[in-house]
Amino acid sequence: MLFYSIIVVITAVDQLSKYWIRSVMKVGESMPFYKDIISFTYYQNSGAAGSSLQGWAPILGVLAVLIVAGIWWYRRKGGFPGTLKQSAAALLVGGAIGNGIERLLFGKVTDFIVINSGNGIMNLADIAINIGVVLYLVDMLLSQRGRWKGNGKNPQIS
């Protein structure tokens, strides 16, 4: 149930935030959000992260559908055991759905979150995907740590 709840919340909040930005701002317009740390700038991205692959939105939209289907299939086969992996997978799916909807419907994604340290522009779906990847890596490290402790040996690099 947690898996599906996370997907619904991420997708809904992502879509609502993008709708709000499109409703109140013009493309290229900026406004401060939190002190001098975070601002909102409305940008339409027809590509991928870092504005790479511009014009590939339809292909990236289909890729998002395939990734979501693959994660669902793997989960049904018993993949992603444990709460941390389930949460990571749900964040990936929610983010992929959020950006996939826009890519398939509009041919572009609404980006608007700017962290003023100079690291690009993103949206909530992008953040969910990144957090999902980090959680999955943390789970992998914790699992490996348990194996190292279990056999009493130091890890070997091969």
Active site members: 111, 126
Which tokens hold the place of 66? 């395939």
* Sheet-wide strand order for 121-122: 30-34, 38-45, 109-115, 121-122
On whether the CB atoms of residues 3 and 75 are closer than 8 A, the answer is yes
Cross-strand pairs, 122: 113
Which tokens hold the place of 17? 């935030």
What is the 3 state secondary structure string of 107-129?
CCEEEEEEECCCCCEECHHHHHH
Torsions phi, psi for 120 (to 5 deg): 80, -165
Cross-strand pairs, 158: none
